[in-house]
Structure 1
């Protein structure tokens, strides 16, 4: 059932896996400024993502204790493993991220995700979070292959390789496989209307994933609003 969501979003994913931000990370041409921007925004995103996973864990507590526990574990993984990677980068760069603010597409994505998780049923909430797992694993694998194809002649900052190794690695794949199975099982016991909504949320989150990398590619900022009301 979850595979049908992926199939429906396949055209978006096919474009995303070749996103210039991701490709340039592998071939070493991505500016470090853009990557730093991305990592700061991703750290903010992961805070809300972990909150959503815990919220889903709360909702599942009376329905399936095992799944509820696993969702809490996913939340901990997002905060500890993934954000630990980010914190390591900040230390390397001597960056204080405490005052980082979400940029437009970060806020758009997290607001949508938080709204669905807080106002819709468990099945829809689980589906809206799925692309963050599945798309990241997919692009990580694509980036691993491209890195192998390019060979050792290409040099890149160590942070780029660390990112590729995490999301293209076996440990993350195990997490993703488990989460897909949870969504799949919930979808199989949901009515047709709910499954349709799950697919809609999955596709929307895939679009927002792409836009998240667009944002880092262009270093998107909030418009400056001057006193007379003109931007």
Structure 2
């Protein structure tokens, strides 16, 4: 069932894998300033994403204890493994990101995601979180393939390669496939209206993934 959501979002996925931010990260033309902006906003996003996974895990506790525990482990992975990548970046750059504030598209995405997980049925919560897993794995694989195609002649900051290695790697792919299986499980017994909502939330999160890179591309700030 999750595959049908992905298929419905095909045009969004296609546009995302060609996003200038991602492509320029691989070909070495992306400014470090843009990547630093992105990393700070992504760290803020991951805090809320982990909170949503914990909340969804709590909701699943009385339904499927095994799935509940897996969701909490996913949350810990986001808090520890993924954010550790960001913390290593900040240490290397001598940046203190503790006082950073979410920019417009970060707040838009996290608010939407949190609202769905907190107020809607668990199946919809799974769907709204799925693109963060699946889109990142997909673009990670695409950027890995592009890096291999370009070969070793391109110079890029080591943080770019670390990002590609994490999200294009086998370990992240295993986690993504596990989450997809969980989504398929909750979708299996869902009615047509719930499935429609799940697809809508999935597609909206795909749009917001694209916009997240958009704001890093243009270094979006609050205008007032």
Once the two structures are superposed, residues 112-168 of structure 1 have per-residue CA deviations (whole angstroms, 9 ceiling, x without a partner) of 000000000000001000000000000000000000000001010000000000000
Mapped partners of 2:111, 2:184: distance in 1: 24
Mapped partners of 2:141, 2:155: distance in 1: 19
Mapped partners of 2:46, 2:144: distance in 1: 23
Which structure has the greater CA radius of gyration?
Answer: 1
Structure 1 unaligned blocks of 5 or more: 225-231
Give runs of aligned pairs for residues 1-231 of structure 1, distance below 5 A.
1-224=1-224
Once the two structures are superposed, residues 4-32 of structure 1 have per-residue CA deviations (whole angstroms, 9 ceiling, x without a partner) of 00000010000000000000000000000
Once the two structures are superposed, residues 38-58 of structure 1 have per-residue CA deviations (whole angstroms, 9 ceiling, x without a partner) of 000000000000000000000
Structure 2 unaligned blocks of 5 or more: none
| 4+ long deviations beyond 4 Å | none
Q: Count how many residue pairs are aligned between Structure 1 and Structure 2.
A: 224
**Partner SS state of residue 185, structure 1:** helix
* 1:33 shift after superposition: 0.1
**Partner SS state of residue 59, structure 1:** helix
Mapped partners of 2:223, 2:145: distance in 1: 38
The TM-score with structure 1 as length reference comes to 0.97
